[in-house]
Chain A
Amino acid sequence: EPEVTQTPSHQVTQMGQEVILRCVPISNHLYFYWYRQILGQKVEFLVSFYNNEISEKSEIFDDQFSVERPDGSNFTLKIRSTKLEDSAMYFCASAIAGTGELFFGEGSRLTVL
């Protein structure tokens, strides 16, 4: 069964460093998302991406964040200068349509020290 894959599964970084989280969405999906979950809290929407551009973003997704689909298969989330409060599980998701089921990856745990 096709699935969304994410790398790395866990990354530890120092505050102020740049981090890139990678995702390979399901191949025939057209809509891509990043969500995050801070430990013990709810899953929060960060950004949606369609047709090579951001469709929507939340207030969390500030200038420190960026997304890219560099090669038609990968979908990346970059955090330019990490802060302690960026520590969370980051989930990539994809969907065939703009509404409908989202398929999530296993997540990338980011720990900022």
Chain B
Amino acid sequence: DQQVKQNSPSLSVQEGRISILNCDYTNSMFDYFLWYKKYPAEGPTFLISISSIKDKNEDGRFTVFLNKSAKHLSLHIVPSQPGDSAVYFCAASGGTYKYIFGTGTRLKVLA
């Protein structure tokens, strides 16, 4: 039951360029979305969130876009830096206490 999907397992981007990570969901009850970054052998680190009443949220180099009709969200990182290389997870919840995580996208920023 893949309610949250990240269809790109990996992505390589040149330093300074934009990284776009995508996430699709199937459950229309989801109304709150989070993006996390994860380094090997560490816990996920919260990056940015968006609720369904908005279609965009921005925090520094990170912007999350939400398209409710398409059940799609994306994380934009600009400019990308080598330190951004990590696995990125999107997570969604809807009126319950649990978050459903996507499978993750491994981002590699090339210097």
Interface residues of A (CB under 8 A from B): 4, 6, 31, 33, 35, 41-45, 48, 50, 55-56, 58, 91, 93, 98-107, 109
Contacts and interface: CB of A to CB of B under 8 A. Distances in A.
Contacts of A4: 43
Interface residues of B, number: 23
Contacts of B97: 31, 33, 48, 50, 55-56, 98
Chain A, interface SS category: strand
A58 B98 contact: yes
A106 B42 contact: yes
A58 B102 CA distance: 16
A50 B101 CA distance: 20
A92 B8 CA distance: 27
Contact of A99 (B32, B36, B100): B32
B34 A102 contact: yes
Given A100-B32, A101-B34, A45 B43 contact: no
A42 B89 contact: yes
A75 B12 CA distance: 39
Interface stretch (B17-25, B44-52, B70-78): B44-52
B8 to A, nearest CB: 14
A105 B43 contact: yes
A41 B104 CA distance: 9
B99 interface: yes
Contact of B44 (A41, A56, A91): A91
B16 to A, nearest CB: 29
Interface in B65-111: 89, 91, 93, 96-104
